[in-house]
Amino acid sequence: MVLGKFLPPHAGHLHLIEFARARCERLLVLACSLKSEPIAGQVRAAWLREILGADDGIEVIHVTDENPQYPHEHPDFWAIWRTTVERACPRYPQVIFTSEDYGEPFARVLGMEHVACDIGRERFPVSGSAIRRRPLAHWRFLPKPVRAWFARRVVITGPESTGKSTLAETLARRLDTVWVPEFARGYLDELNARRQAPHFVQYEDIEPIARGQVASEDALARDCNGLLICDTDLHVTSVYSHFYFRRCPPWVDEEAKRRPYARHLFCEIDTPWVADAQRD
């Protein structure tokens, strides 16, 4: 068994899990969370399942017990945690693998053998708290799903033909990162090619365009260097939909407000207009 908060999962955690997996037939990974923590427990458990999903010998179990985190917080600290482990594990483990000083006393309470791995964090000098404080400084230790969460997203917005795409591509190249093109353009180009006739945006196109933009952004966030340049966002999709159709799918408006961006760059109308079939 491996137990932790995984707040967030990082290379040190994965090293511990790989170390444990090489020494057992079946491994239980208990991802423990509290409601008050900055990243929801179900998100962290989902990350672990994605990262470890190729190995059928590993089972990730999300534990939601609101347990004390340190022995001084409750006189029955160790007994509480033993009850949690007994309840969470479908089959009681024989061995616990840790990279923490608490591993030995915890193993005694649980009645398990303890196997330590890189207690001094010499191979992966990183911690979850250090990542939360300065994620970009520890970027190399983050798995791709976690990178998407911590990426600082910069969105470029403004009217048509103001150089947004050119600026996004140029910034990404100079900052040695990736950028997210406007999904609508590729979507409409594909429809035009398929129908061999001009296709102008209809209300029914708003939802697939919005979902495509979100999916592209979240996928490319995994490959960025900590900074992701976005050519447009859902606010633009929402404004377009409300302006032309006097309505917008509610989830688009909600998602536009929810998505986090570190900076918004607004392009002025100070460049020559370049006409094409998709511009009005």
Q: Which distant-in-sequence residues (6+ apart) come within 8 Å of 132 by Cβ?
A: 7, 8, 38
pLDDT at 276: 65
Domains defined along the chain, listed by start:
2-131 (3.40.50.620), 151-266 (3.40.50.300)
Cβ contact 237:213 at 8 Å:
yes
Separation of alpha carbons 194 and 53, rounded Å: 37
Separation of alpha carbons 80 and 217, rounded Å: 42
pLDDT at 177: 98
> Residue with structure tokens 């591509």?
169
pLDDT at 164: 86
pLDDT at 275: 57
Please state the separation of Cα 9 from the chain's center in Å: 11
pLDDT at 155: 97
Name the nearest CA neighbour of 80 among 98, 68, 62.
68
Beta bridge partners of 266: 157
pLDDT tens string, the chain, 280 residues long: the values are: 999 999 999 999 999 999 999 999 999 999 999 999 999 999 999 999 999 988 999 999 999 999 999 999 999 999 999 999 999 998 999 999 999 999 999 999 999 999 999 998 889 999 999 999 999 999 999 999 999 999 999 999 887 777 889 999 999 999 999 999 999 989 998 888 887 666 789 999 999 999 999 999 999 999 999 999 999 999 999 999 999 999 999 999 999 999 989 999 998 876 666 656 555 6
* pTM across the whole model: 0.88
